[in-house]
Amino acid sequence: MRETISQRRTKIEDALQNQLPATTEFDQYRDGPVTVGRPRTHGHVFLALVDGLSSEPRSTDRAVPIAAALELASLQTHVHREAIRRDRSHDGEYDPTRDVLRGDLLESTAFETLLSAGGSSEHVRRCFAVLVRTTRRAQEGRAIVSEDDVDPLDAAPDVRRRLGALTGGAAELAALEVGLDDDLCRRLAEHGTELGYRLWVRTETGEKRADERQTTGSRAACRRQIEALADCCPDRSATQVRRQLAAFLEEELRVEFPEQSA
């Protein structure tokens, strides 16, 4: 299982290195691991579901650029959020303009990377629409939380859906890539969004607080969403998807699950 996770990470990282804008603004990512503080959750969820939902082994030529596009969009929201935090720290020497422009460049690169995956015009249109919509919603969610000082554990349902939107987009894109019907696309998007929100809560509040509350960001809550995603997959691959996602979260995000369900 760790080998599968490692192989996917390597493919995502290689794609990101190739797609990062050719400007000195991103030298910090080329000189050291791009992965610092970035577990690549969206790319891993997408690739695991593409494998699990496919009826036969698939080439990664189309899937990896989409995974990289998701991670570039995620990095954009991270860069903009950090710009807001630094600006509010009242550091008089900090000008957020540079980081805002860096984030904008990452976003446009994410869209360009998705288009490089190719496919029929209708398929590309639908995938592009998903990435645009979920990126925008993720940005909206973070803006709401930043402006209103919302406790992540007590966020309203519409804010939760925004905060988890990009992970939901990863699940929806996997369904589109495999060619599933609209109903299953919606189900996967909903469960992916819920998982994304719960993982965001763990990141923002800390694992201990999330587990103590035994609510939105707890291990049990994360596990339920993994189960829901796996249940959307064919019986032959549901167990594999369940184990892969659980193992990824254990290894990269330290979300420890009971041994028998890992």
What's the CATH code of the domain at 57? Answer: 1.10.600.10
Distances from the Cα of 98 to the Cαs of 80, 94, 146, in angstroms? 10, 10, 19
Q: Could you count the other beta carbons within 10 Å of the beta carbon of residue 150?
A: 15
Give every CB contact of residue 93 below 8 A, 6+ residues apart in sequence: none
* DSSP per-residue codes, 102-130: HHHHHHHHHHHHHHTT---HHHHHHHHHH
| Domain span holding position 144 | 2-261
Given this model, what pLDDT does residue 37 score?
A: 44
Whose CA is closest to 176, among 124, 228, 105, 112?
Answer: 124
* Each residue's pLDDT expressed in tens, for the chain with a length of 262 residues: 666 888 888 899 888 888 877 766 666 655 544 443 467 889 999 999 999 998 887 878 889 999 999 999 998 988 888 787 777 666 667 778 888 888 898 999 999 999 999 889 999 999 999 999 999 999 999 888 887 677 777 788 999 999 999 999 999 999 999 999 999 999 999 999 999 998 888 877 766 555 555 556 677 888 899 999 999 998 888 998 998 898 888 876 665 655 433 2
pLDDT at position 139 is: 92
For residue 193, what pLDDT is reported?
97
- Domain count within the chain: 1
- The distance of Cα 78 from the centroid of its chain, to the nearest Å, equals 11
Kindly state the tokens that stand for 188.
């996967």
DSSP H or E stretch at residue 60: none
**Structure letter (DSSP) for residue 214:** T
Give residue 5's identity as a one-letter amino acid code: I
The pLDDT of residue 132 is 97
